[in-house]
Amino acid sequence: MVQSVRGAVNPRRSDDETVVTMRFPKDLHNRLKQEAEAGERGFAAEVRRRLEASFAGPPSDPTTQRFVNAIAKIASDVSDAYGRPWREPESGEPYAAKVFCDAINELFAYTLFNGDPIPKPPKPGTRTATVLARHPDLDPGIEIGTHAVTTEGFL
């Protein structure tokens, strides 16, 4: 709990938070508000999520960065081709999402290694290793994908 200058206690705010007042251009505010609603988050949570992501930086290796850039290019091309972003479920046009998925699969087809994958355990001490130790029948790819879906606000 934080005590204000006037002595009032705010039980909702912790000692590790700071309240900030900001001005946004109306267009930016509206876009952030729309994204927050689409992700079922509040406006402040959306702003915090985006600020945190800006400090995360790009992927650490050039190949992953190229892959991320290719996915962004695919998303842009799908939007150009179909007049709406691939991710708009309210649009009633699931075909754009299908085209996006097909394009991602094509990207994978060109970038994956040849040969049969040999299963191996994740590095000890990682979040994935901890989860798989509790749920040994869980597929590592599904676990990592589900974690990304939940942490990035898709659920």
Cut 0.85: pTM above it:
no
128: in domain: yes
What are the pLDDT digits (tens) for 104-138? 999 988 877 777 888 899 999 998 999 999 999 99
84: in domain: yes
Same domain, 72 and 102: yes
Same domain, 33 and 50: yes
As a whole number, mean pLDDT of residues 83-99 equals: 76
91: in domain: yes
48: in domain: yes
pLDDT at 137: 92
Same domain, 105 and 67: yes
Q: Of residues 33 and 90, which shows the higher confidence score?
A: 33
Question: In sequence order, what DSSP letters do the residues of the chain get, joined into one string?
Answer: -EE-TTS-EETT--TT---------HHHHHHHHHHHHHTT--HHHHHHHHHHHHHH-S-SSHHHHHHHHHHHHHHHHHHHHHSS-TT-GGGT-THHHHHHHHHHHHHHHHHSPSS-----PPPTTSHHHHHHHH-TTS-HHHHHHHHHHHHTT--
Same domain, 100 and 65: yes
As a whole number, mean pLDDT of residues 67-92 equals: 82
Span of 29-38, 54-63, 92-101 with lowest mean pLDDT: 54-63
Q: How many domains does the chain have?
A: 3
129: in domain: yes
Same domain, 50 and 66: no
Range of the domain at 141: 120-148
Tell me what percent of the residues of the chain surpass a pLDDT of 70: 85
pLDDT at 123: 92
Same domain, 132 and 103: no
15: in domain: no
7: in domain: no
Same domain, 72 and 96: yes
Same domain, 90 and 105: yes
Average predicted confidence (pLDDT) for the chain = 82
